[in-house]
Amino acid sequence: MTALAPNLTVKVTRQGHSLKEGTDLVIPASVKYIGQTFAVKEIENGPQFGNAKTLSLPNSITQKVNWWGADLSSLEAFIVEDDNPIYTVVGGVLYSKDKVTLYRCPAKKAFTSADFQPETKYLGGHAFYKNTAISDLVIPNTITNTDLNTFYASSITSVFIPATLPSLCNGMFEGCLQLASVTFENSAVMSIAWDSFNNSKILNDQTGDFKVIDSVAIKYMGTADTVVFPDSIVNIVYSCISYSRAGSKTMTTVILPASLKTVYYQFLSFNSASEKYPLLEKIICKAQDVPNVIGSQLQLNSEKDVTLVVPCGKLSDYTAATIFSNPFATIEEGFVYNVTLKQTAGGTIAYTKKEECNEIELTATPDEGYEFVKWNDDNTDATRTVAVNSDIEFSATFQIKPTAISQTNQKSTINNQKVIKDGQLLILHDGKIFNAVGQEVK
């Protein structure tokens, strides 16, 4: 400890004597030195208490500790008194006094989704740094922000990221060698920062899976050759899918989303300038407006000539934006959007691409005994041509063909026959027609 005269306070230094494994480390509120008493007010940034089993912090500390890079590899719990002015502890986890910020989870704490406090909005820098007991985690929708290297080198295996968390911080999952699944809630992530997944299992051996609920977002499984960014992504920054440490050899295609506004020129970067993607040959950009490139000219780092495919009618815009388009060997227009067909009872729907770049022909075919009613956009043409300028989904409504009903006074021997006409349920009984609530239809 270093005396901070003349204020009669001391600071616990970052480096100290080696602790015995399993030590219950108690930071005193004060120390005596040469007959004087010094209050312990501060702990130096990134304290190295590697063998401490528990760490007790005194009420005298008035400056928040910077836990980035702190070696707490054996820690099972923090301890503070109830009246600590700046910290509180729940289940051994260190929070701000109001629990709004989770500062640090002990490395040996088997933190689960149920351990998140309802008041918590922020996950501090290195909050789960080198935690070896964490596995599956659902981040709740109360979390709105994270700081540098939140889960750095932890044992996390899968994570759900809510829509309330709009960006992944720098190095959020860097070094997470067991991370195999990342699920984004729809429209969750707008920005993926540099090194967010560097050296994670997903990039190391391509056995992991990034996905948005109900649709693939960023996928790299087995021998997969395509990386797809989700349509909520607005910004892509430096080295966000760097394969320098993973040494990926399979990627051939990258699909950039329609929502993309800016992209860092080295978003496909390697640590070494001599390393290149051996198979990358196509980048599909679905954005109608050419994304801004931050930095210098876009870098592709491929051993092959790379083709840029852009939306129909946007060839001249992309060609003119040389900071984006110059690295590509060729630029071409193409059908870049996803058409999803949702099949429903009573018939089938299909589409074929037409000669016009962005046009498709939709066809609804009713099953026997059914008839087509309308599409999900209320169009009533069973066969139609549609210009596709964004990802789109189609479904159709079919109904049972109405039985010919003769409204005469003749007595009928058919009772309680049900038919549907113009979307309305009708019941034929004793020669009369009734609706679903028993009223006679004239």
pTM over 0.85: no
Q: Among 64-73, 326-335, 402-411, which is the least confidently predicted range?
A: 402-411
SS (H, E, C) 13-62: CCCCCCCCCCEEEECCCEEEECCEEEEEEEECCCCECCCEEEEECCCCCC
Reported confidence tier of residue 404, pLDDT bands at 50, 70, 90? very low
Residue 368 pLDDT exceeds 50: yes
Distance of CA 56 to the CA centre of its chain: 36
How far is the C-alpha of 291 from the C-alpha of 118, rounded, in Å? 38
pLDDT at 173: 86
3-41 pLDDT tens trace: 444 455 555 655 545 678 889 999 999 888 888 888 888
Strand 432-435 and strand 424-429: pairing?
antiparallel
Distance CA 212, CA 192 (A): 14
pLDDT higher for 88 or 245? 88
Domain boundaries, the chain: 157-336, 339-400
Mean pLDDT lowest for which of 41-50, 211-220, 365-374, 415-424?
Answer: 211-220
For residues 360 and 352, the answer to whether their CB atoms sit within 8 Å is: yes
pLDDT band at 342 (very low <50, low <70, confident <90, very high): very high
Round to the nearest angstrom and report the end-to-end CA distance of the chain: 97
Weakest mean pLDDT among 53-62, 261-270, 359-368: 261-270
Does residue 164 carry a pLDDT above 50? yes
DSSP class of 169: P
What integer pLDDT is reported at residue 171 of this predicted model? 79
**Strand order, beta sheet including 370-375:** 339-342, 392-400, 370-375
Does position 388 have pLDDT exceeding 50, yes or no? yes
427 in Cβ contact with 417 (< 8 Å):
yes
Q: What is the pLDDT of residue 259?
A: 86
User: Mean pLDDT throughout 318-326?
Assistant: 94
At residue 268, the pLDDT reads 76
Q: Across residues 216-220, what is the average pLDDT? A: 32
What is the percentage of the chain residues whose pLDDT exceeds 70? 75
Q: How many residues does the structure list for the chain?
A: 442
Q: What is the pLDDT of residue 199?
A: 58
pLDDT, residue 274, reads: 66
Do residues 265 and 224 touch, judged by C-beta distance below 8 A?
no
Q: How far apart are CA 238 and CA 222, in angstroms?
A: 25
